[in-house]
Chain A
Amino acid sequence: SYELSQPPSVSVSPGQTAIITCSGDFLGNRYACWYQQKPGRSPLLVIYQDVKRPSGIPERFSGSNSGNTATLTISGTQAMDEADYYCQAWDSSSVVFGGGTKLTVL
């Protein structure tokens, strides 16, 4: 079965750039998306179709996807961005999620 791998944790200082990766075989041939989840809340879509931002998502969130790796980049990271982040892709008619990355803003 298809799998997506993420680093368990990433740390960043306020104002700096956070980079979260998601790896899977030939992931660049599929659409990847990203969700932000804060404690006790439902996941929130922040990037879809590799690079697109839903309405209301700040411009500091961006995405890319090539080869075997999709990347979520948060520029000028703010304290409010501290959360768990999950990547997701489709495999045939099923869905795969990454294991999640805890972003800590120190």
Chain B
Amino acid sequence: QVQLQQSGPGLVKSSQTLSLTCAISGDSVSSFTAAWNWIRQSPSRGLEWLGRTYYRSKWYNDYAVSVQSRITINPDTSKNQFSLQLNSVTPEDTAVYYCVGDWGRFAFDYWGQGSLVTVSS
């Protein structure tokens, strides 16, 4: 059973960088079959996929067009975790952020507990 444990600050100031980490247990961030995603949810934007990282002999990233100029998702193989960095945040980035694993079934199988991040102006 895969478990994802998120951590990071719940309050970020406008124009600064939002940073979250997701620790994986039950699988490896370097798995050849899994991908590791960040998804957020807010009342105004609903569920929004932000991007993913995955390993297939080398590391790949895909990012949503809406955030691609501001986002970085990085794996950390030494700690078996992955991270989200979102730069130049505004109050519109206030949301619950989820780290999520998928195993190539065109669906998101395992979700972290969610982290409410508030961007203050």
Contacts and interface: CB of A to CB of B under 8 A. Distances in A.
A31 B108 contact: no
A88 B108 contact: yes
Contacts of A45: 107-109
Contact of A48 (B48, B49, B62, B106): B106
A90 B64 CA distance: 12
A93 B111 CA distance: 20
Interface of B: 39, 46-49, 62, 64-65, 98, 105-109, 111-114
A49 B106 contact: yes
A42 B113 contact: yes
A90 B106 CA distance: 7
Query: Which range contains the number of A residues in contact with the other chain?
Result: 20 to 34
Interface of A: 1, 30-31, 33, 35, 42-45, 48-49, 52, 54, 86, 88-90, 93-97, 99-100
Most B-side CB within 10 Å, residue of A48, A90, A93, A95 = A95
Contacts of B62: 93-94
B107 A48 contact: yes
B111 A43 contact: yes
Contacts of A35: 108
A54 B103 CA distance: 12
